[in-house]
Amino acid sequence: MRQLGRQAGSALTQTRTVPAPDDLRLELIEVPAGADVALEVRFEAVSEGVLATGTAIAPLAGECARCLTPLTSSVTVGFQELYLYAEGRHDKHEKYDKHDEQEEQDDEGLYHLDGDLLDLEPAFRDAVVLALPMSPLCREDCPGLCAECGVPLADAGPGHRHDAAVDPRWAALQQLSEQGDDEHQDRRTSAIDLQEG
Ligand SMILES: [Zn+2]
Ligand SMILES: [Zn+2]
């Protein structure tokens, strides 16, 4: 941050890869702790401090809400935070997100420059948590699991279905009629052949 002067308008963009912080997760998806997060932040000197505008790309790991297949993905978030110079505290600024607990409580929830060091993690964390999907899907049209047997329908194919369970008293009748069914079966097969040809 030392390269960035205090003259309003001077700006500096930094890109770096940082390890993801802990506890960035919802029920079905998370940013794995320590995973590489690609960060690009533009720092701009404004009259009362430094405006940080960031973009982060974070990897995601979780499972599909419909079929429970493990999935990986990524999320891109933008965030912005104003960091005030310590001597530039005013009352007129509107409230920003909640502050680090260890900071004093008289600062209206604003972030402050700690020397030249900016802590971007709270802003990044808030943006990511908002962007995490409540119901992540392995693909947009995931058909989910078969309600009958639990196999992923995407694997089982569109023809997957279950005939209603046959009452044992009817099973004998079904056997008797199987010979008659063979004829239908043959006709159905040739019909499919015609369609595909
Ligand atoms: Zn799925
Ligand atoms: Zn099934």
Q: What average pLDDT does the structure give for the chain? A: 78
The per-residue pLDDT for 105 is 43
Interval 6-19: pLDDT, tens: 777 788 898 999 99
Strand partners, 30: 25, 61
Q: Which ligand is nearest to the CA of 160?
A: 2
- Which candidate, 73, 141, 78, 86, places its Cα nearest to that of 113? 86
Locate the DSSP E strands across 28-101.
Answer: 29-30, 36-46, 49-63, 70-84
Percent of the chain with pLDDT over 70: 65
1-5, 32-36, 94-98, 132-136: the lowest-pLDDT one: 94-98
Highest mean pLDDT among 21-35, 82-96, 163-177: 21-35
> Closest-lying ligand to the alpha carbon of 143?
1
Residue 154 CB neighbours (<10 A): 19
Q: Nearest bound ligand to CA 142?
A: 1
Query: Can you tell me the distance from the alpha carbon of 119 to that of 128, in angstroms, rounded to the nearest whole number?
Result: 16
Largest alpha-carbon pair distance within the chain? 94
Identity (one letter) of the amino acid at 107? D
Find tokens 């709270």 and name the residue.
122
Dump pLDDT digits (tens) for 84-120.
Answer: 887 644 444 444 444 444 444 444 445 666 555 568 8
What single DSSP character describes residue 141?
T
Spacing, Cα 24 to ligand 1 middle (Å):
22
Q: How far is the CA of 152 from the centre of ligand 2 (A)?
A: 8
97 alpha carbon to ligand 2 midpoint, in Å? Answer: 48
CA of 67 to the centre of ligand 2 (A): 13
- Tell me how far the alpha carbon of residue 139 lies from the centroid of ligand 1, in angstroms: 6
Q: What spacing in Å lies between the alpha carbon of 147 and ligand 2's midpoint?
A: 7
CA 20 – ligand 1 centroid, Å: 26
Residue showing tokens 């308008």: 9
